[in-house]
Structure formats: C-alpha cells, structure tokens
C-alpha cells in the first residue's frame, strides 16, 4: 500500500511539473514572434517544441497513473 501511495505522490508531482514545462515551452514558442534573426527563430522553435513535448508527455504519463485509482 505504501508503494501505491508513493507512486500516486510522484504522479501528482510529475503532473504539476509537466504543466510548468509545457507552459514554459509555449512561452518560448510565442517568443518566436519577437525574435529578429532566423537562427534565433529556429532555436526558439526547436527548444519550444522539445520542452512542450517533454511537458506534455510528463502530464499524460502522470494522468495515466492517477486514473488507475
């Protein structure tokens, strides 16, 4: 039972952390609009997509564990 409680606690933490990383990735994607150079735009797009992907995956995995109650 303690193992399940620990797994649930970790899933809640990962859900919140995933939301933060996803939000940060979206902010970086919005920053592309204000970037002047092509290299800067490419860098922001790649970084934003990577962070958004990681954050989204963390949230999906955490919510999958949370639904197993």
Instruction: Give tens-digit pLDDT for 22-59.
Output: 999 999 999 999 999 999 999 999 999 999 999 999 99
The pLDDT score that the predictor gives to residue 69 is: 64
For residue 11, give every residue at least 6 positions away whose Cβ sits within 8 Å of its Cβ, in sequence order, or none. Answer: 61, 62, 63, 65, 66
* Distance between CA atoms of residues 13 and 62, nearest Å: 8
| Separation of alpha carbons 46 and 31, rounded Å | 12
pTM (two decimals): 0.87
CA distance 58 to 45: 20
pLDDT band at 67 (very low <50, low <70, confident <90, very high): very high
């Amino acid at each position: 039972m303690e193992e399940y409680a620990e797994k649930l606690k970790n899933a809640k933490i990962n859900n919140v952390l995933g939301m933060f990383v996803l939000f940060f990735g979206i902010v970086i994607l919005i920053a592309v609009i204000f970037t002047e150079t092509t290299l800067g735009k490419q860098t922001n797009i790649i970084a934003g997509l990577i962070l958004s992907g990681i954050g989204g995956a963390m949230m999906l995995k955490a919510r999958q564990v949370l639904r197993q109650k």
